Amino acid sequence: MQKDATQEQIDKVSEEIKRLGLTPVSIPGTQRIAIGIIGNAGPIDPELFIGLDGVRDAIPVSKPYKLVSREVKPDDTIIQIGDVKIGGNEFTVIAGPCAVESLDQCLTIARLVKKAGAQLFRGGAFKPRTSPYSFQGLEEKGLEILAEVRKQTGLLIVTEAIDHDVLAVVEKTADIIQIGARNMQNFSLLKRAGKSAKPILLKRGMSATIEELLMAAEYIMSEGNNQVILCERGVRTFADHSRNTLDLSAIPAVRTLSHLPIIVDPSHAAGRRDQVIPLSRGAFAVGAHGLIVEVHHDPKHALSDGPQSLYPEQFAELMHSLKTLSSVSQEGNK
């Protein structure tokens, strides 16, 4: 729509789309509103819309995903929760333990990562573990702990929903709901996430292509939730010097194809702490919108992912080095 399109003109276009038996989906941007059309079996003639009042252009989308594509929305999506922004020119850091283990553990880590500059706190209350005998999370008790951490530190909370039932519980507490790599193509869970009022952090599946990741995000957006943050967390390859292979090239690729923010999880990519700082710096350099990093004050005794968790001092060092990189890149932009 044109920048100065009125609500009435927007409504008229939506009505016209419905009249054709199709579904309009509004995608608000910083400059203008775009109206995506879904439900069509084949191409639609752009001329049906071009003459309507307030319409700037009608663009056939060449990709199988529509609402997530830059063709539909050229400007970057910026997700704002309170004072925290993710997307655009922001670089936002989420940090915390893999799993919520106790209030003490979470508060200790949260205070340290906040001091170092993290804006959000991560911690799984419901854990998707490879073995049924591994720690599965503190569940509801874990969510209560996360709410207490937010109350005491002011940090916003990111936590994972592993299935439908859990999502209904998690969305009451979380500021951002994580959908993990193992669930990236759990299409019914994605649809349910699309009905949530909370932003969704969608992690790339361990052998998913970029197109599959974007189609997964499309499931969420097609149900009406525009607040999707993508996350590159490494894919499985023949390499055995790290747990997964961080696909840094996914960042510029996604930024070209989609308006959605994309952050990097160097912890699950590497699976080992010594690679987390260099990979984070790489993520910053290739244009990621932020990081989600595992940090633990006592990783030897962590109940999950200790070997890849940074010590709080290392996290502070990482934040410091990102500041240095940021001043270099600003220098480069002058």
- The residue among 98 and 215 lying less far from Mn ion, judged by its C-beta, is 98
Residue nearest to ligand PEP (CB): 180
By CB under 5 A, the count of residues binding Mn ion is: 2
Q: Which of 87, 124, 137, 261 binds ligand PEP (CB under 6 A)?
A: 124
Residues paired with 294 in a beta bridge: 96
Q: Which of 157, 244, 305, 316 binds Mn ion (CB under 5 A)?
A: 305
Is 5 a residue that touches Mn ion (CB under 5 A)? no
Q: Which of 29, 87, 137, 180 binds ligand PEP (CB under 6 A)?
A: 180
Provide CB contacts within 8 A for 95, sequence distance 6+. Answer: 109, 113, 116, 118, 120, 121, 122, 291, 292, 293, 294, 295, 315
Q: For residue 95, which phi and psi values (nearest 5 degrees)?
A: -145, 155
Cα angle 244-290-72, degrees, rounded to a multiple of 5: 100
By CB under 6 A, the count of residues binding ligand PEP is: 10
Binding to ligand PEP, residues 223-252 (CB under 6 A) = 233
- Distance in angstroms (rounded) separating the CA atoms of residues 201 and 220: 11
- The residue among 54 and 234 lying less far from ligand PEP, judged by its C-beta, is 234
- The residue among 287 and 307 lying less far from Mn ion, judged by its C-beta, is 307
Binding to Mn ion, residues 98-157 (CB under 5 A) = 98
- The residue among 181 and 189 lying less far from ligand PEP, judged by its C-beta, is 181
In the chain, helix, strand, coil percent, each to 5? 40, 20, 40
- Distance in angstroms (rounded) separating the CA atoms of residues 233 and 269: 5
Q: Which parts of this chain interact with ligand PEP (CB under 6 A)?
A: 98, 124, 128, 180-182, 203, 233, 265, 268
